[in-house]
């Protein structure tokens, strides 16, 4: 990269929450290497607030992913308008953290002098620095790091980060107080996932929560993202609301504020798991065995996991091969024993 003046570096990652969090060491590296430069991040519009407080990101440009699914002249105009918006920024460097035809076009038409992205993609001829690294070939944290590293410069720390806004910290304190939870002493359970084959069966979660409430002196916070409400409704029907508090979240930063105050987060293989890791919270993750090669890169101090298998049973898919007693015993170990 040219070093004779401050740079405008534009980075794009339009994947979901977990990938964004896992790419934070790479973003931090760019800001450390070029502290006087402006670092602009393009993300899905729903993650704008979640990442606008990061100290090493100067600005966020949100992208409406609905545009991907629209056709016709109106959609074409919106696509061109977005490219013109990027071009108006006059970036020096454009870095795409994953392959994609749309991203390669953005890189080229942005007018950036240096256009960096993974090598293996259809429109790689629009790039002038192609990184020989593929998804699902190495651990994803190393994958993102490889894209931004150059020469003998390497990412120094793989610690991921997430910044919770002060107003959400205050909101979480009020929520905890109003719902009879104790700061740092409750267990958060997030039973959903983007893929059904990653979801431990709900009957297992119900049995686990029953055992935790009966045998451990901990209250449970059931956390539901926008896609998880049905799961949480089924689970919560089996419990008294005094013992099981439910939060249906439409806000990543509010969820983060609550997770940060948890004693433990129990989760499937989701972006919420990576959120908890970035917050430094103890985690018990239930992971499919086929994901370990690429998504298992956290230390064993705060991040424990139990491995299961993706099961296909007719039209049903779920995470199997993990029994309730194993999860219960591991939870007891992590939170400090039975009552």
Distance CA 102, CA 124 (A): 11
pLDDT, mean of residues 308-332: 96
In a domain, 153, yes or no: no
Q: Work out the percent of the chain whose per-residue pLDDT is above 70.
A: 98
Domain boundary (148, 174, 195) is at 148
187 beta partners: 220, 264
Domain boundary (148, 174, 207) is at 148
Is a pLDDT exceeding 60 seen at residue 221?
yes
Looking at the structure, tell me whether residues 100 and 238 fall in a common domain: no
Looking at residue 286, its pLDDT comes to 98
Closest CA to 220 of 307, 333, 328: 328
Looking at the structure, tell me whether residues 133 and 249 fall in a common domain: no
CATH number of the domain within which 222 lies: 3.40.50.2000
Looking at the structure, tell me whether residues 122 and 186 fall in a common domain: no
pLDDT in tens, 107-118: 999 999 999 999
In a domain, 312, yes or no: yes
Looking at residue 328, its pLDDT comes to 98
Confidence of residue 4 (pLDDT cuts 50, 70, 90): low
Looking at the structure, tell me whether residues 209 and 67 fall in a common domain: no
Confidence of residue 336 (pLDDT cuts 50, 70, 90): confident
Looking at the structure, tell me whether residues 283 and 217 fall in a common domain: yes
Looking at the structure, tell me whether residues 200 and 137 fall in a common domain: no
Is residue 321 classed exposed, middle or buried when 0-12, 13-18 and 19+ CB atoms within 10 A define those classes?
Answer: middle
Looking at the structure, tell me whether residues 186 and 320 fall in a common domain: yes
pLDDT in tens, 127-160: 999 999 999 999 999 999 999 999 999 999 999 9
Distance CA 103, CA 95 (A): 9
Sheet containing strand 38-44, edge to edge, reads 59-63, 38-44, 8-12, 93-96, 114-118, 129-131
Looking at the structure, tell me whether residues 228 and 323 fall in a common domain: yes
Looking at residue 79, its pLDDT comes to 92
Range with the poorest average pLDDT among 111-115, 283-287, 300-304 = 300-304
The total of structural domains in the chain comes to 2
In a domain, 231, yes or no: yes
Distance CA 274, CA 285 (A): 10
Distance CA 66, CA 291 (A): 28
Q: Report helix, strand and coil shares of the chain as percent, to nearest 5.
A: 40, 20, 35
Is a pLDDT exceeding 60 seen at residue 229?
yes
pLDDT, mean of residues 63-76: 84
Distance CA 332, CA 239 (A): 20
Looking at the structure, tell me whether residues 26 and 73 fall in a common domain: yes
Looking at residue 3, its pLDDT comes to 54
Q: What angle do CA 26, 29, 34 make, to 5 degrees?
A: 130
Is a pLDDT exceeding 70 seen at residue 63?
yes
Backbone angles phi, psi at 60, to 5 degrees: -115, 135
Looking at the structure, tell me whether residues 177 and 271 fall in a common domain: yes
In a domain, 155, yes or no: no
In a domain, 157, yes or no: no
Distance CA 128, CA 22 (A): 25
Residue 244 domain boundaries: 166-335
Looking at the structure, tell me whether residues 43 and 120 fall in a common domain: yes
Looking at residue 320, its pLDDT comes to 98
In a domain, 270, yes or no: yes
Is a pLDDT exceeding 60 seen at residue 2?
no
CA distances to 67, 124, 166, 251 from 257, in Å: 31, 40, 9, 10
Q: Work out the percent of the chain whose per-residue pLDDT is above 90.
A: 87
In a domain, 46, yes or no: yes
Looking at the structure, tell me whether residues 173 and 238 fall in a common domain: yes
In a domain, 161, yes or no: no
pLDDT, mean of residues 269-296: 97
pLDDT, mean of residues 6-10: 96
pLDDT in tens, 306-316: 999 999 999 89
Domain boundary (93, 115, 148) is at 148
């Amino acid at each position: 990269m040219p070093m004779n003046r401050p740079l405008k570096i534009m980075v794009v990652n339009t994947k979901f929450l977990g990938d964004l969090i896992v790419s934070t060491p790479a973003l931090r590296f760019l800001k450390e290497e070029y502290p006087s430069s402006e670092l602009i991040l393009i993300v899905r519009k729903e993650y704008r607030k979640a990442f606008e407080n990061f100290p090493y990101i100067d600005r966020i440009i949100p992208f409406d992913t609905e545009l991907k699914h629209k056709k016709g002249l109106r959609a074409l105009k919106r696509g061109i308008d977005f490219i013109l918006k990027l071009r108006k920024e006059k970036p020096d460097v454009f870095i795409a953290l994953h392959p994609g035809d749309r991203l390669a076009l953005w890189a080229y038409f942005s007018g950036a002098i240096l256009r960096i992205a993974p090598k293996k993609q259809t429109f790689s001829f629009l790039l002038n620095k192609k990184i020989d690294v593929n998804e699902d070939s190495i651990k994803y944290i190393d994958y993102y790091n490889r894209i931004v590293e150059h020469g003998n410069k390497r990412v120094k720390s793989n610690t991921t980060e997430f910044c919770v806004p002060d107003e959400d910290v205050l909101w979480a304190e009020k929520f905890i107080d109003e719902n009879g939870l104790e700061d740092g002493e409750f267990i958060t359970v997030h039973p959903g996932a983007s893929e059904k084959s990653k979801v431990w069966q709900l009957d297992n979660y119900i049995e686990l929560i029953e055992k935790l409430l009966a045998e451990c002196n901990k209250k449970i916070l059931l956390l539901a993202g926008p896609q998880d409400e049905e799961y949480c409704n089924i689970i919560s029907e089996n419990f008294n609301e005094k013992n099981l508090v439910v939060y249906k979240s439409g806000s990543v930063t509010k969820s983060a504020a609550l997770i940060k105050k948890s004693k433990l987060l129990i989760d499937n293989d989701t972006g919420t798991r990576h959120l908890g890791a970035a917050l430094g919270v103890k985690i018990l993750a239930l992971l499919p065995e086929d994901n370990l090669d690429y998504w298992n890169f956290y230390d064993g101090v705060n991040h424990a996991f139990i491995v299961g298998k993706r099961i296909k049973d007719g039209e049903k898919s779920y995470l199997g091969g993990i029994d309730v007693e194993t999860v219960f015993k591991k939870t007891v170990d992590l939170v400090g024993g039975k009552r």
